[in-house]
Amino acid sequence: MKTAAVHLLLLLSLFLAGMNGNGQEPDEREELLQQREELNKKIETLRREQDFLLFEKVLYAADSKYLIINLGSRAGQLKYKNRVLKDFRFKASPKLAGSIGPGALTLTKKREDPGQRHVLVFGKSLVIQWKRPPRAPYQADVPSLSLSKTDLQSIFYALEEGAKAYILTR
Amino acid sequence: MQTAKKVIEIVLLLAFSFAAPSLAGALDAVAPDTTDELRAQVHAMEQDEAALEEENQGLRKMLKQIDDNEIYLVVDTESNRLTMRRGRKTLMTAVVGTGSRQFVQEETGRSWYFESPTGALKVLGKERNPVWIRPDWSYAEENMPVPPENDPDRIVRGVLGKYALILGNGYKIHGTKYTDLLGTHFTHGCISVGDKDLETLYRSVKIGTKVYIY
């Protein structure tokens, strides 16, 4: 039994020696892999930041109001160029978590029911509606944000179809 | 028997010792990245990161330069709120009155729609003790005959409060006697503000201050 264990250890060490090739490389390799992973994360963060900065740059030059929606802080802003016109807070539907990533969305439809029920539709990605809709939520399968009636009305009339929204996740 | 077993063990051990490095080498060869490739990848990524950081710095700087840190006013005509802001800070919020969104038609057929102007405007002038020059619609509204343009009857004092900020095209931010109506759509298009808020606004803004009405 003891001999078998010694043999097994011997075998393993020999096998690992073969894997290593030489004595110094594994440390460097491990370090490089770690470095690569860290760089990947940094580059991803910088790309996201750049995407947002470019969005702000483009919207600064445009004559259109737009939204910045921060899912992390559950707060949003209505903006025109570099000016904040309105701050608002919202509630997010359970479907929203993880279903929408950072990036720009386009307002595809403004829906106004006779019952003063305003809905802003951003394609199949997002719906912004009143906190307590009198009926079932519009497009229940789409992730949604709920705002107070006053905030929603202000934003509803400020934005035109085709307006942009940028989603931040933190 | 014991000796034979030992011999077999030693032979097997030796055979594996020779085979193991080649086997491991073969496994290394099918691994996704060799150390050299990894070094090259990391180097390229470091360059990408530096380039991105530099680009972002340029963009951040450009956007920061746009931020003039000046005071500006925002009027929300839906909720009848005026906010004075600087950068991302809200300095003041006031309950105001905005355009009634109603039509008035004169017997002659002339009509007016009382709506606050929207868009990016500027404070073009500041007045103390502003005087109201009654426009034609004011007479039409009361079914009164419209006097000539420079008729002294058009001059009305004391109805616009102590101060006014001129926005152009006859629109102003001014005071009101109808403070009970603040928070509603009741004006002829001007932005009506309570006395205290009006004084703060008058003291804080300068000619050229941007006014965003939506």
For residue B119, give the 3-state DSSP assignment: strand
Using a CB–CB cutoff of 8 Å, tell me whether A31 touches chain B. Answer: no
Using a CB–CB cutoff of 8 Å, tell me whether A86 touches chain B. Answer: yes
> B52: closest CA among A13, A51, A55, A124?
A51
A140 to chain B, minimum CA–CA distance in Å?
A: 27
**Averaged pLDDT, B162-182:** 97
Among A12, A14, A30, A149, the residue to mutate for chain B (most B Cβ within 10 A) = A14
Residue A164 · residue A138 · CB < 8 Å: no
Specify the higher pLDDT residue, B15 or B59: B59
- Comparing CB atoms, the residue among B42, B49, B85 nearest residue A84 is B85
Residue B23 · residue A18 · CB < 8 Å: yes
Half-sphere exposure of residue B59: CA atoms within 13 angstroms, side-chain side: 19
Hey, are the CB atoms on B45 and A40 less than 8 Å from each other? yes
Structure tokens at B39: 């070094």
**Chain B residue numbers touching A65 (CB-CB < 8 A):** 214
Hey, are the CB atoms on A36 and B39 less than 8 Å from each other? no
Q: Is the pLDDT reported for residue B1 higher than 80?
A: no
**Chain position carrying tokens 């900020």:** B165
- Comparing CB atoms, the residue among A15, A53, A83 nearest residue B60 is A53
Q: Is the pLDDT reported for residue B112 higher than 70?
A: yes
The reported pLDDT for the residue numbered A55 is 98
Distance CA A3, CA A29 (A): 34
Single-letter residue type at A31: E
The reported pLDDT for the residue numbered B107 is 82
The reported pLDDT for the residue numbered A3 is 64
The reported pLDDT for the residue numbered A86 is 96
Distance CA A45, CA B45 (A): 13
**Averaged pLDDT, B60-75:** 93
Residue A158 · residue A78 · CB < 8 Å: yes
Q: Which residue of B has its CA nearest to A148?
A: B79
Q: Is the pLDDT reported for residue B20 higher than 70?
A: no
**Averaged pLDDT, B56-68:** 92
Contacts (Cβ under 8 Å, ≥6 apart) of A110: A118, A119, A120, A121, A156, A159, A160, A161
Specify the higher pLDDT residue, A135 or A33: A33
Instruction: Give the DSSP H or E segment for B198.
Output: helix B195-204
Using a CB–CB cutoff of 8 Å, tell me whether A153 touches chain B. Answer: yes
The reported pLDDT for the residue numbered A142 is 84
CA distances from A50 to A69, B36, B45, B49, B112 (A): 17, 31, 16, 12, 48
Residue B45 · residue A39 · CB < 8 Å: yes
Question: pLDDT-based confidence at B2, cuts 50/70/90?
Answer: low
Hey, are the CB atoms on B28 and A21 less than 8 Å from each other? yes
Where are the domains positioned within chain A? 2-53, 64-168
Using a CB–CB cutoff of 8 Å, tell me whether A84 touches chain B. Answer: yes
The reported pLDDT for the residue numbered A116 is 64
A143-147, A158-162, A163-167, B19-23: least confidently modelled range = B19-23
Distance CA B170, CA B187 (A): 13
Strands A164-168 and B71-76: unpaired
**Chain A residue numbers touching B90 (CB-CB < 8 A):** 87
**What is the number of residues in chain B?**
214
Q: What are phi and psi of A43, to 5 degrees?
A: -65, -40
Distance CA A79, CA A65 (A): 6
Residue A167 · residue A77 · CB < 8 Å: no
Hey, are the CB atoms on B79 and A87 less than 8 Å from each other? no
**Averaged pLDDT, B95-112:** 92
Using a CB–CB cutoff of 8 Å, tell me whether B52 touches chain A. Answer: yes
Distance CA B165, CA B198 (A): 9
- Comparing CB atoms, the residue among A39, A49, A150 nearest residue B49 is A39
Using a CB–CB cutoff of 8 Å, tell me whether B60 touches chain A. Answer: yes
Residue B71 · residue B205 · CB < 8 Å: yes
Q: Is the pLDDT reported for residue A6 higher than 70?
A: no
Question: pLDDT-based confidence at B33, cuts 50/70/90?
Answer: confident
A101 to chain B, minimum CA–CA distance in Å?
A: 20
The reported pLDDT for the residue numbered A1 is 53
For A145-163, how does the pLDDT look when each residue is reduced to its tens digit (9 = 90+)? Answer: 999 999 999 999 999 999 9
Question: pLDDT-based confidence at A21, cuts 50/70/90?
Answer: very low
**Chain position carrying tokens 């963009």:** B59
Hey, are the CB atoms on A46 and B52 less than 8 Å from each other? yes
Question: pLDDT-based confidence at A64, cuts 50/70/90?
Answer: very high
Q: How many CB pairs under 8 A join A and B?
A: 120
B175 to chain A, minimum CA–CA distance in Å?
A: 23
The reported pLDDT for the residue numbered B135 is 94
The reported pLDDT for the residue numbered B87 is 86
B158 to chain A, minimum CA–CA distance in Å?
A: 32
- Comparing CB atoms, the residue among A10, A15, A65 nearest residue B214 is A65
Using a CB–CB cutoff of 8 Å, tell me whether A160 touches chain B. Answer: no
Distance CA B24, CA A94 (A): 49
Fold of A64-168: L,D-transpeptidase catalytic domain-like (2.40.440)
Distance CA A169, CA A151 (A): 21
The reported pLDDT for the residue numbered A132 is 64
Q: Which residues pair with B133 in a beta bridge?
A: B155
Structure tokens at A34: 């770690």
> B116: closest CA among B168, B181, B179?
B168
**Averaged pLDDT, B91-97:** 98
| Percent helix, percent strand, percent coil in chain A, to nearest 5 | 40, 30, 30
Q: What are phi and psi of A166, to 5 degrees?
A: -115, 130
Structure tokens at B138: 């004011």
**Averaged pLDDT, A127-140:** 71
Using a CB–CB cutoff of 8 Å, tell me whether A28 touches chain B. Answer: yes
For residue A56, give the 3-state DSSP assignment: helix
* Radius of gyration for chain B, computed over Cα atoms and rounded to the nearest angstrom: 38
